[in-house]
């Protein structure tokens, strides 16, 4: 089975969507039923896909799409060029790593989409009101034009059913992302100045990630002297709408000497940060899944995170939680960080429910079911028993 994975997005730096596309590729490559994987990326993405993720499986071919990075160009490409490209590649299944506008009738094979979150509805400030409206339209258009929706969590599946109840459970279901983060494959960061001790957070610069809240709590910890004055806060994540706010918050709190910001890190270096941080913090107000949290669990980090459904679904009782709706959330987050730092260092978690051995067969089962359904429909339309297609039958 040949699967084409569309990972063409606007991001100039590694993002959660990119990391998901890579983990999906590796997960499928581990399956004997999958013979070939074509991973589609934009020209502006090719460099970091090559250097940050180290894709070397012979089953996986990275193909650079010929288009410009503008929103209009990308949406036109999804609608008009992607179907022909899938056909020319000989793909049996197209898997969209995130929702994009498509027209199902132009594809000759089944189309699956991974739905990570409902941010256009749940956190429109990530986009701005004008762009949020278009993202909602594109989201609905995509959901109505695919054969299957793989929701990243039960929380995301529940939100989708609430917003689009016309989608049945047969079409949309929960299918966790694969988290194959090997704690043993670590390398000290080569291009980021890291000194221990340090607190770590991994998140794109968007409003729901609550990085300014973390900065406020970090400043509170330093002010109280609850942590040593030389502790660093390492923020790893691609730039986004909140980048300027993050930088201005750092400056207003005089945290320049204590905060390290990094954008692009290979998996091996990110693994080193997870394994060697004194504390990992994920303060998001809403998430559809939370890949960095799962990776931190996999690497055995002490963890503090917001008490939201997606994080509870991933981590259960393996984290220290705080409420993002607390009336004194900065102090509460600081207090929970102190408690977590006093606790023992946990061992790496196996997270078997996110492993390729567990997740891969689920993807393959979905693809196989869709292919059987398509072949069945084709047989029905071409069978002489079908009067609509039996052109040579005598007229009754």
Contact 127, 139 (CB under 8 A): no
Structure-block tokens of residue 36: 């070939």
Q: What is the dihedral of CA 103, 37, 63, 144, to 10 degrees?
A: 20
Q: Which has more pLDDT, 13 or 165?
A: 165
Any domain includes 250:
yes
Q: What is the dihedral of CA 127, 172, 2, 72, to 10 degrees?
A: -20
Any domain includes 188:
no
> Do 244 and 99 sit in the same domain of this protein?
no
Residue 377 pLDDT class (50, 70, 90 cuts): low
Question: Stretch 282-295: mean pLDDT, rounded?
Answer: 96
> Do 20 and 169 sit in the same domain of this protein?
yes
The residues, ordered by sequence, that sit 6+ positions from 10 with a Cβ below 8 Å of its Cβ are: 69, 71, 74
What's the CATH number where 236 sits?
Answer: 3.40.50.2000
**pLDDT of res. 75:** 94
Question: Stretch 319-323: mean pLDDT, rounded?
Answer: 96
Look at residue 241 and tell me whether its pLDDT is greater than 50. yes
Alpha helices, DSSP H only, in the chain?
16-29, 46-53, 71-80, 82-89, 119-122, 129-143, 154-163, 211-224, 243-252, 267-276, 291-299, 309-315, 329-342, 356-382
> Do 168 and 292 sit in the same domain of this protein?
no
pTM of the predicted model, to two decimals? 0.89
Look at residue 251 and tell me whether its pLDDT is greater than 90. yes
Any domain includes 235:
yes
> Do 134 and 270 sit in the same domain of this protein?
no
> Do 110 and 245 sit in the same domain of this protein?
no
**93 strand-pairing partners:** 3
> Do 12 and 151 sit in the same domain of this protein?
yes
> Do 77 and 211 sit in the same domain of this protein?
no
Residue 313 pLDDT class (50, 70, 90 cuts): very high
> Do 8 and 143 sit in the same domain of this protein?
yes
Return the DSSP state at 115: E
Any domain includes 191:
no
In order of 118, 139, 142, 228, 247, the CA distances from 98 in angstroms are: 11, 9, 10, 42, 29
**Domain range holding 114?**
2-178+355-382
> Do 163 and 287 sit in the same domain of this protein?
no
Look at residue 396 and tell me whether its pLDDT is greater than 90. no
**pLDDT of res. 113:** 97
Any domain includes 49:
yes
Q: For 45-84, how does the pLDDT look when each residue is reduced to its tens digit (9 = 90+)?
A: 998 888 878 788 899 999 999 999 999 999 999 999 999 9
Query: How many other C-beta atoms are found inside a 10 Å radius of the C-beta of residue 291?
Result: 22
Task: Order across the sheet with 232-236: list the strands.
Answer: 259-262, 232-236, 198-202, 279-282, 303-306, 320-322
**pLDDT of res. 214:** 98
Q: For 111-148, how does the pLDDT look when each residue is reduced to its tens digit (9 = 90+)?
A: 999 999 999 999 988 887 788 898 999 999 999 999 99
Any domain includes 187:
no
Which residue has 């504390």 as its token pair?
279
- In 3D space, the residue among 244, 249, 311 whose CA is nearest the CA of residue 280 turns out to be 311
Any domain includes 252:
yes
Beta pairing, strands 279-282 & 303-306: parallel
What total of structural domains would you count in the chain? 2
**Rounded CA gap, 359 and 46, in Å?**
26
**Rounded CA gap, 272 and 185, in Å?**
8
**pLDDT of res. 136:** 93
**pLDDT of res. 378:** 62
Any domain includes 328:
yes
> Do 337 and 363 sit in the same domain of this protein?
no
The chain-wide mean pLDDT, for the chain, equals: 90
**pLDDT of res. 68:** 94
**Rounded CA gap, 152 and 119, in Å?**
13
> Do 208 and 338 sit in the same domain of this protein?
yes
> Do 57 and 116 sit in the same domain of this protein?
yes
């Amino acid at each position: 089975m040949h699967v084409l994975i569309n990972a063409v997005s606007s991001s100039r730096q590694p993002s959660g969507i990119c990391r998901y596309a890579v983990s999906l590729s590796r997960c499928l490559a581990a399956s004997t039923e999958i013979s070939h994987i074509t991973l589609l990326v934009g020209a502006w993405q090719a460099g970091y896909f090559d250097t940050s993720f180290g894709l070397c499986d012979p089953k996986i071919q990275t193909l650079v799409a010929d288009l410009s990075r503008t929103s209009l160009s990308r949406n036109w490409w999804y609608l008009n060029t992607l179907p022909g490209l899938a056909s020319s590649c000989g793909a049996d299944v197209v898997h969209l790593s995130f929702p994009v506008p498509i027209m199902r009738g132009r594809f000759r094979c089944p189309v699956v989409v991974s739905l990570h979150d409902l941010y256009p509805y749940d956190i429109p400030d990530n986009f701005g009101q004008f762009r949020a409206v278009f993202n909602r339209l594109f989201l609905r258009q995509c959901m109505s034009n695919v054969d299957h929706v793989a929701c990243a969590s039960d929380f995301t599946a529940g939100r989708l059913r609430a917003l689009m109840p016309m989608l049945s459970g047969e079409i949309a279901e929960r299918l966790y992302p694969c988290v194959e983060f090997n704690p043993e494959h670590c390398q000290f960061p080569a291009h980021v100045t890291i000194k221990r001790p340090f607190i770590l957070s991994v998140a794109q610069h968007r409003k729901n990630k609550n990085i300014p809240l973390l900065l406020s709590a970090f400043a509170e910890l330093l002010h109280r002297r609850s942590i040593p004055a030389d502790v660093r806060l390492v923020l790893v994540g691609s730039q986004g709408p909140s980048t300027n706010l993050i930088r201005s918050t750092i400056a207003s709190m005089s945290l320049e000497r204590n905060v390290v910001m990094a954008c692009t890190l290979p998996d091996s270096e990110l693994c080193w940060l997870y394994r060697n941080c004194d504390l990992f913090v994920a303060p998001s107000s809403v998430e559809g899944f939370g890949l960095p949290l799962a990776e931190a669990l996999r690497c055995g980090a002490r963890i503090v995170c917001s008490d939201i459904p997606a994080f509870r679904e991933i981590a259960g009782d393996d984290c220290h939680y705080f409420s993002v709706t607390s009336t004194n959330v900065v102090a509460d987050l600081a207090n929970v960080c102190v408690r977590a730092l006093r606790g023992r260092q946990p061992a790496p978690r196996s997270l078997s429910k996110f492993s390729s051995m567990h997740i891969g067969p689920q993807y393959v089962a979905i693809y196989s079911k869709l292919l059987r359904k398509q072949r069945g429909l084709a047989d029905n339309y071409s069978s002489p028993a079908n009067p609509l297609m039996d052109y040579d039958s005598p007229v009754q």
